[in-house]
A and B are shown apart, each in its own frame.
Chain A
Amino acid sequence: MNASDAALLTTLLTLTLIKATPIAYAAIGGVLSERSGILNIGLEGMMTGGAFTAVVFSSLTGNPIAGLLAGIAAGALLGFVLGIAATAFKADQVVAGTGINLVAAGGAAYGLTLIFDQPGASPQVSALGNAFWILVAAAFAAAVLLHGILYYTPWGLRVRACGENAYAVADAGLRPLRLRMQAVVASGALAGLAGAFLSIGEVNLYSDGMTAGRGFIALAAVIFGRWTPLGATAAAVFFGFFEALQYVLQGRAGWLPSDAMQALPYVAALIAIAGLVGRVRAPAADGIPYEQAR
C-alpha cells in the first residue's frame, strides 16, 4: 500500500464515521420508538426540523451550542406531535409520520423565506467546528447507553414490554401510553440531534432537502440492526460507508458517473432490507395503537 492509498483509506474511514453519525442518531431514536410500539416514519421530518432549527438558533444567538440544543428540542417537539397523534388519537402512524415529514420539509422551506428571506438555502451560520467530533463519538456512546437502558433498567424493560403487548403493561398497573410518549419524544430528540449534526456539524447552513432520505435510511438501519441499538448503529456505519464511498469515488472512478454514484447509499439500503427475508421479526405491537378501555 503506497502513501496515497493509505491517505485514501484514512479519508474513507473518517468520512464513514462522519456520514454514519446522523444515521446512527436517527436509527437509535427509531429503535427506541419502535421498541415502545410506535413506528416512527417521521424520523426524516424530525431530522429536517432539527437541521433547520439548529441553523436558525445558531444564527440568532451566534452560538452553535444553542443551535444544537434548539435542534434537539425541535426534533423532540415533532416527536411529541407524533406521540399525541399515535397515542391520544390512535392515528395511523405511517400516515401521521408522513404528515410530519411534509410539515417539516414545507415548514423549513417556508421558514427560509420568512426568516432569512432566502429560498433554497440559509446563509452561513456559526457551526460546531471541531466540536462535532465529540458528537461523532457521542453517537456510539449513545448506542451503548441506550443498550444499557433498554436491557438493564426497569424503564427499558417496561418500554420493551410496551412494544410487545401494551395491554400486559397496563395490567401491571403501568401506563403504556405514557411510556410510548416518553420513548417517541426521546426518539424525536435524537433525530433532531441527527439533523443538527448535518446542518451545523458537517456544514454550516441549512439547504432544502439536505436530509436526503437519511431518516428512511435510518429506518432501514433499524431493521437491518434488528431493533437493537448496537445493531442499528452498526447498520448506520454500513450505510455511512456507502455514502462515504460515493464521495471518495467521485472523480476517481471515471467509469462510474457521479449521478449514478449518488444512488449508492439508497441502493445499499434497499439491498439491506431486501436481504433479510424471513430472518427478522419486528416488535409484536409495533405500529399498533393501544385502545384504552374506559
Chain B
Amino acid sequence: METVNGAALRMTAIRKTFPGVVALDGVDLELNPGEVHALVGENGAGKSTLAQIAFGTLRADSGTVAARGTVGLVHQHFQLVGRLRVWQNVLLGREPRSGLRIDAAAAHRAVRDLAERNGLEIDPDAFVDELPVAARQRVELLRELYRNPSVLLLDEPTAALAPAEIDRFFATVTTLAREGTAVLVVTHKLAEVVAYTQRVSVLRRGKMVARFETAATSVDEIARAMVGGDLPAIAARQSVELQPCVKLTGVSAGEGASAVSRVTFDVRGGEIVGIAGVEGNGQNAIADAIAGMIPFHGSIEVPRTGIVPQDRHLEALVLGWSIVDNAVLGRQHALRRGAVVDRARARSDAASIVSRFDLRATSVDAPVRTLSGGNQQKLVVGRALIDDPPFVLAYQPTRGIDVGAATLVGSRLIEARNAGAGVLLISFDLDEIFALADRILVLYRGAIVGEFSSAGADRARIGRLMAGAAA
C-alpha cells in the first residue's frame, strides 16, 4: 500500500470524555487515499465515537482532525427519512431548484446518474420506508457519495446485510477506493476485515492498541488485540435428554414485508434453536407472536417463558429505576403479596442476579441508566432466567455488549439449556448463532427455508439461504 500525496484524514491525539467515561484517550489515526482501512474494537471501545469525531457530529475535547476534502459517514443505524422518496433523501440540503421550487426532474436525473455511475441499483422515486435494508443502505451511501467525499466512513456497514449482499457492498467500496477515496470501515466482524481491507487499527477502551497490515496478520491476532488477551471460554454443553417444550404450527403473524406465513417448528427442552436470518425477514413477528404481543393465526404451544427482548432500553428496562425495581418488571404479579409488591423478595432477587451475573454496579439501588450496556443486558437476561423458566426466548441477547458480558450471557443460556430448558435464539449475527445453537433454522421472507444441525452445518449454504438463494 503506497501513500499518495500524504494522508486524506489525519487524527492526532484525540481525547473525548462523556460524563463519567473517557471514551477516547490520545488516539491517532491516519487514512490514505485509495485504502480500505478497518477500525476494530469491542463494543464500547470508542469506534463510533472516533468516527463521529472524524465526521464532525461530535467534537473532541482535545486533539486535531485534519481532512483533505469532505468526509462522509454511513451510519450503522441509517439516518434516513422513511416517508420521503429516495431522491429527496439523497439530495436533502442540496436540492436543485428552478425558481422557488425544487426541480424534481433534475433531482431525479442526478440521483439516477449517481447510482448508475457507482453501480448502485435504486429507484429514485421509491419511498425509503418501503425499501429492504440493503437498499436503504445504498440510499445512505448515495447521499454521502453525492457530496464527493475524499474520506468515507462506514460504521458497521454490514450489520444488517446477508452474506451475498456483503460481497456486493464491498465490491462497491473497493471500486471507490481504487478511484482515490480513503475508506474507513468500523466493524467488529473480523472475517470481513481480513477479506476486504488493507490495514487494521485496533481500539481497546479508548486507546489505539495495535495496527496491522492486513496481509500480515490473522483473525486470531486481531481478536487478541481487541480483548487484550485470550477470549474468555464459554460454558460447555452437556448432553441432555430432549423433552417437548414449544410448538408452533402454521403460524402466520405480522404485517407487510416482515410478516411470517404458516411457520411450523418446535423447540425441545434441552436444546438451543437458533433462527438465522437477515433483519426484517419476520423475526419480530415470530418473537412477538410467541410473547403474545401480536395476534396470530395457527397455534403456538408455549410454557412459562423468560423473555430477553431485542431492545433492552425500549422493551426491557425502566432506565430511571433501580436494579431492584427493574428486577420486578414482568414479575410484579408473581411477587404480589396482597395488593403490594414483596420488596424483600425483590431485593433478594436483585442481589442474586447481581452475584450470578457478575453485574457491576455501585449498589442494587443504583439507577439502571448508570450501568454500562453489558451490565444492563446482564440484568435483563438474569431477570428472564431467575424463575427457572422451562422456555427462554432470547432475541439478539448479546447485541452491542462487550465480549466478556456476551460470553457470560451465552454461558448462562447454555446452562439453562443444560438444565433442561428450551431456548429459542433469534439473531442477525451468524457468529452468535453458531456459537450457541444446537439446531439452526433459516428464516427468509417470513418462511423457514432451511434447517441444520449446527454440528457440521455449511456456513456458506446458510448464508446463501439467508439471502434468498434456493440452495
Which residues does A use to contact B, with CB under 8 Å?
Answer: 152-154, 157-158, 160-161, 164-165, 167-174, 284, 293-294
Contacts of A171 in B (CB 8 A): 57, 73, 75, 79, 143
Residue from A152, A157, A165, A284 in contact with B79 in the complex, judged by beta carbons closer than 8 Å: A165
Known: A157-B84, A157-B95, A293-B52. A168 touches B102 (CB 8 A): no
CB neighbours (8 Å) of A170 from chain B are: 57
Quick check: B81 and A158 within 8 Å, CB to CB?
A: no
13 pairs of residues in contact across A and B, judged by CB atoms under 8 Å: A152-B102, A154-B102, A164-B83, A165-B79, A170-B57, A171-B57, A171-B73, A171-B143, A172-B94, A174-B92, A174-B93, A294-B58, A294-B59
Q: Is the CB of A168 within 8 A of B83?
A: no
In the assembled complex, the Cα of A160 lies from the Cα of B82 at a distance in Å of 11
Contacts of B377 in A (CB 8 A): none
The answer to whether A157 touches B102 (Cβ under 8 A) is yes
Q: Check A169 against B100 for contact (C-beta < 8 Å).
A: no
Are A158 and B92 CB-contacts (below 8 A) given A165-B80, A171-B79? yes
Q: Are B79 and A167 in contact (CB under 8 A)?
A: yes
Minimum distance in angstroms from A37 CB to a CB of chain B: 11
Q: Give the docked Cα–Cα distance between A138 and B255 (Å).
A: 43
B92 & A157 in contact (Cβ 8 Å cutoff):
yes
* A168 proximity list for chain B (CB < 8 A): 79-81, 89, 92
A143 to chain B, nearest CB (A): 18
Q: How far, in whole Å, are A13 and B58 apart by their CA atoms in the complex?
A: 57
Closest A residue to B101 using CB positions: A152
Top 5 A-B residue pairs of the complex, sorted by shortest distance between their CB atoms: A172-B93, A172-B92, A168-B79, A154-B95, A164-B81
Q: Which residue of A lies closest to B58 (CB)?
A: A293
- Flag if B84 contacts A160 (CB, 8 Å): yes
B297 proximal to A (CB < 8 A): no
Cβ-defined contact, B82 with A158, below 8 A: no
Name the interface size band of chain B.
20 to 34
Measured CB to CB, the closest approach of chain B to A158, in angstroms, equals 7
Q: Chain B residues near A173: list those with CB within 8 A.
A: 93
A172 to B140, CA, bound (A): 11
Query: Could you tell me the distance in whole angstroms from the C-beta of A285 to the nearest C-beta in chain B?
Result: 9
For the complex formed, measure the closest distance between the CB of A80 and the CB atoms of chain B, giving whole angstroms: 24
Q: Is A165 a contact partner of B81 (Cβ separation < 8 A)?
A: yes
Give every chain A residue within 8 A of B101 (Cβ-Cβ).
152-153
Proximity bits, B217-254, A CB within 8 Å = 1, else 0: 00000000000000000000000000000000000000
**How far apart are the CA atoms of A27 and B100 in the complex, in Å?**
25
Whether the Cβ atoms of A172 and B57 lie closer than 8 Å is: no
* B97 proximal to A (CB < 8 A): yes
Residue numbers in A under 8 Å from B88 (CB-CB):
157, 161
Could you say which residues of chain B place their CB within 8 Å of the CB of A165?
79-82
Number of A-B contacts (CB under 8 A): 59
User: What's the Cα separation between A280 and B17 when bound, in Å?
Assistant: 42
The verdict on A153 contacting B79 (CB below 8 Å), with A171-B73, A293-B52 known, is no
Measured CA separation A168–B79 after assembly (Å): 5
Across the two chains, which residue of chain A brings its CB closest to B89? A168
Tell me the B residues contacting A by CB distance below 8 Å.
52, 57-59, 73, 75, 79-84, 88-89, 92-95, 97, 100-102, 143
Query: Which residues of B have CB within 8 Å of A157?
Result: 84, 88, 92, 95, 102
- Alpha-carbon gap, A154 to B106, bound state (A): 14
Residue of B nearest to A162 (CB): B81
Chain A residue nearest to B52 in the complex (CB): A293
Contact call A161/B95, Cβ cutoff below 8 A: no
A167 vs B55: C-alpha distance in the bound complex, in angstroms? 14
A293 with B57: in contact, given A153-B101, A172-B92 (CB under 8 Å)? yes
Give A174 to B79 CA distance when docked, in angstroms: 14
Q: Check if A154 sits within 8 Å of B79, measured CB to CB.
A: no
Kindly provide the distance from the CB of B30 to the nearest chain A CB, expressed in whole angstroms. 24
| B92 adjacent to A161 (CB under 8 Å) | yes
A82 to chain B, nearest CB (A): 24
A101 to chain B, nearest CB (A): 28
C-alpha gap A175/B88 in the complex (Å): 17
Q: Which residue of A lies closest to B73 (CB)?
A: A171
Report B-chain residues with C-beta under 8 Å of the C-beta of A284. Answer: 82-83
- How distant is the Cα of A164 from the Cα of B88 in the complex, in angstroms? 13
Report Cα–Cα, A152/B93, bound state, in Å. 14
Query: How far, in Å, is A35 (CB) from chain B's closest CB?
Result: 11
- CB of A247, distance to nearest CB on chain B (Å): 40
State whether B102 touches A158 (Cβ < 8 A).
no
Pick from A152, A153, A164: contact of B84, CB under 8 Å: A164
A294→B59 CA distance, assembly (Å): 6
Q: How far is the CB of B326 from chain A (nearest CB, A)?
A: 23
A117 to chain B, nearest CB (A): 49
**B99 — nearest CB in chain A belongs to which residue?**
A153
Q: Which residue of B lies closest to A281 (CB)?
A: B83
Residues of B within 8 A of A164 (CB): 81-84
Q: Is the CB of B84 within 8 A of A161?
A: yes
Residues of A within 8 A of B58 (CB): 293-294
The interface residues of chain A lying within 8 Å CB-to-CB of B81 are: 160-161, 164-165, 168-169
Q: Assuming A157-B84, A170-B57, A172-B92, what are 6 further A-B pairs, CB within 8 angstroms?
A: A153-B100, A154-B95, A154-B97, A160-B81, A168-B80, A171-B57
B84: chain A residues at CB < 8 Å are: 157, 160-161, 164
CA distance A174 to B82 in the complex (A): 18
- B-side contacts of A169, CB under 8 Å: 81, 92-93
Which residues from A are CB-within-8-Å of B73? 171
Q: How far is the CA of A164 from the CA of B73 in the complex (A)?
A: 20
The residue on A at minimum CB distance from B102 is A154
**Whole-angstrom CA separation of A252 from B405 in the bound complex:** 76
CA distance in complex: A50, B88 (Å):
36
| Shortest beta-carbon distance from A289 to chain B in Å | 16
Q: How far is the CA of A76 from the CA of B143 in the complex (A)?
A: 35
- Check if B102 sits within 8 Å of A153, measured CB to CB: yes
A293 to B94, CA, bound (A): 23
Chain A residues lying within 8 Å of B93, measured Cβ to Cβ, are 158, 169, 172-174
Q: How far is the CA of A284 from the CA of B128 in the complex (A)?
A: 14
Instruction: A124 to B403: give the CA distance in the assembly, Å.
Output: 75
Would you give the shortest CB distance from B17 to chain A, in whole angstroms? 12
Task: Quote the shortest CB–CB distance from B79 to chain A (angstroms).
Answer: 4
Give every chain B residue within 8 A of A167 (Cβ-Cβ).
79
